[in-house]
């Protein structure tokens, strides 16, 4: 089912890109909308293995798509598109006009509309919606200028979701990508009582890597120039809080792959599963990183097929005492770019996209050494600030311990009763044992709330009125 939906979306995105190139129009941040509607005909029994799918598009991003020619099948590429679909897919019925009216009221007249009906022997309607939602989630991450609407009317249940967020235009080599840079964590941690909190992530581009096309791929017709552009994203952004400790959360290192048309590449990759074995993990501060078989969930912040985890033992060994740590995620986006001077027809571009996905594993393995080098370089640039941050925090923790021990020693060894009483009253404690914990809490709050402005950030103010207390510890760091 998803295989056919992806073919429809590939057809649409190729038409939209060729139209923009013909009219010399750039991609815009507010490009319009994309609707994917999954539904079953009222007369279709629940036990039937049939699902209807309608894909519609409207707005500036697809204005050059020849809507009338697609509708009447007069466009040569449209006829070829239907031939590319599997035997389980056929032209489907038009959905309820009210569904399309609600969409056009938001984005204007339709520029693309295709409906297909899919019959499969083992069609699970719940799985269809789930896999489609995961795919659209990945599509939205790098096509943020288009609001993606998913609506499902299956199994007597109505479900809808809109994928949208804060966007940023990235001008890559021969390609423009509009990424959804909305932070997965919109609220600061409890250790930040008040102050600004960045609502976005900051993509970091790596160096473009020319790829060699393996002989077996060339034999099937994949020629031309092939490149890879890696981008990393670390979330959430903590640039405003230099003293706020960070660590990686288990099962939150992701890899996403995108085709030259910026469509998510699906499927199993043994090479990517083994990727941690070849990276310089110890130098990167990612010791213990391993591939973790998992099932994507649409409720999570990201929806990736490739997930790595850091063993909890390694996380605990590297955590600093006394500092509440913010859990961060690291995502790698790998964008493939392909150029063949002999490509002129839409079918040529569709062929190259399909051949690249078919030979993805061969391409990755054939370029193993330069690919590992490029990823190591990108990860070093991404994580170098984190390593410097960690070193600075180690010094701060040591300094805090010295200060606490010195102050407590002065107070506890003083023979001046008035001085001791004044110190205890000032900190609102009863004895020197409580004094140590209170001093530590005050120091920790003062350092955690310290901010350093960053021009890259888009912050919103945070002001918690509740009494948020950091766990109390004595001078040795033990929690009370």
pLDDT of 101 over the 70 cut? yes
Phi, psi angles (nearest 5°) of residue 261: -90, 5
What residues form DSSP beta bridges with 289?
A: 310
Neighbour count for residue 146 (Cβ, 10 Å): 28
Whether the pLDDT of residue 46 is over 60: the answer is: no
Q: How far is CA 452 from CA 84, 244, 449, in A?
A: 55, 11, 10
pLDDT at 121: 64
* CATH architecture of the region 2-164: 2-Layer Sandwich (3.30)
259 pLDDT higher than 50:
yes
Confidence of residue 32 (pLDDT cuts 50, 70, 90): very high
Query: For position 295, what pLDDT does the model report?
Result: 56
CA nearest neighbour of 2 among 96, 170, 99, 138: 138
Q: Which of 213, 247, 265, 386 is nearest to 318 (CA)?
A: 247
What value does the mean pLDDT of the chain take?
82
Beta bridge partners of 209: 228
pLDDT band at residue 432 using 50, 70 and 90 as cut-offs: confident
63-100 residue pLDDT tens: 888 887 676 665 667 788 888 887 888 888 888 888 89
250 pLDDT more than 60: no
What are the residues whose beta carbons fall under 8 Å from the beta carbon of 306, sequence distance 6 or more?
A: 254, 255, 256, 269, 272, 273, 291
Q: How confident is the model at residue 251 (pLDDT cuts 50, 70, 90)?
A: very low
Q: d(Cα 215, Cα 362) in Å, to the nearest integer?
A: 9
Do 252 and 332 contact (CB within 8 A), yes or no? no
Q: Start-end ranges of CATH 3.30.565 in the chain?
A: 2-164
More confident residue, 408 or 33: 33
Q: What is the dihedral sign for C-alpha 394, 399, 405, 407? A: negative
Can you tell me whether residue 149 is helix, strand or coil?
Answer: strand
Rounded mean pLDDT of 333-351? Answer: 92
């Amino acid at each position: 089912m998803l295989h056919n939906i992806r073919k429809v979306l590939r057809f649409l995105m190729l038409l939209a890109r060729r139209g923009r190139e013909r009219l010399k129009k750039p991609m815009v941040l507010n490009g319009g909308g994309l609707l994917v509607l999954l539904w079953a005909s009222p007369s279709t029994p629940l036990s039937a293995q049939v699902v209807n799918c309608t894909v519609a598009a409207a707005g500036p991003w697809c204005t050059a798509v020849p809507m009338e020619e697609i509708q009447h099948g007069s466009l040569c590429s449209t006829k070829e598109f239907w031939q590319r679909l599997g035997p389980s897919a056929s032209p489907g019925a038009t959905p309820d006009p009210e569904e399309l009216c609600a969409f056009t009221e938001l984005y204007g007249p339709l520029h693309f509309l295709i409906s297909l009906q899919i019959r499969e022997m083992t069609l699970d309607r719940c799985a269809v919606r789930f896999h489609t939602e995961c795919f659209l989630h990945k599509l939205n991450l790098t096509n943020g200028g288009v609001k993606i609407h998913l609506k499902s009317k299956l199994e007597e249940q109505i479900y809808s979701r809109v994928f949208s967020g804060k966007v940023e235009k990235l001008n890559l080599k021969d390609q423009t990508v509009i990424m959804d840079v909305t932070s997965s964590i919109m609220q600061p941690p409890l250790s930040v009582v008040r102050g600004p909190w960045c609502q976005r992530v900051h993509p970091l581009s790596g160096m473009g890597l020319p790829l060699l096309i393996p002989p077996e791929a060339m034999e099937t017709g994949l020629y031309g120039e092939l490149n890879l552009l890696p981008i990393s994203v670390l979330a959430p952004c903590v640039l405003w809080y230099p003293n706020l400790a960070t660590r990686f959360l288990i099962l939150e290192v992701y890899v996403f792959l995108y085709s030259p048309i910026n469509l998510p590449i699906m499927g199993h990759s043994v090479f990517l599963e083994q990727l941690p074995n070849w990276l310089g993990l110890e130098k990167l501060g990612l010791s213990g990183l391993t591939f973790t078989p998992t099932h994507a969930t649409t409720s999570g912040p990201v929806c990736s097929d490739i997930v790595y985890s850091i063993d909890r033992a390694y996380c605990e060994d590297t955590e600093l005492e006394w500092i509440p740590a913010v859990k961060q995620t690291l995502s790698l986006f790998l964008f493939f770019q392909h150029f063949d001077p002999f490509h002129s027809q839409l079918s040529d571009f569709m062929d190259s996209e399909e051949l690249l996905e078919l030979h993805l594993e061969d391409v990755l393995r054939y370029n193993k050494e330069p690919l590992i080098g490029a990823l190591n370089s990108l990860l070093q640039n991404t994580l170098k600030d984190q390593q410097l941050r960690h070193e600075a925090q180690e010094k701060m923790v040591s300094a805090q311990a010295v200060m606490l021990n010195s102050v407590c020693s002065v107070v506890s060894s003083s023979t001046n009763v008035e001085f001791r009483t004044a110190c205890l009253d000032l900190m609102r404690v009863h004895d020197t044992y409580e004094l140590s914990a209170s001093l530590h809490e005050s120091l920790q709050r003062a350092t955690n709330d310290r901010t350093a402005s960053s021009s890259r950030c888009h912050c919103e103010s945070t002001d918690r009125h509740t009494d948020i207390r950091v766990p109390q510890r004595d001078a040795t760091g033990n929690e009370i």
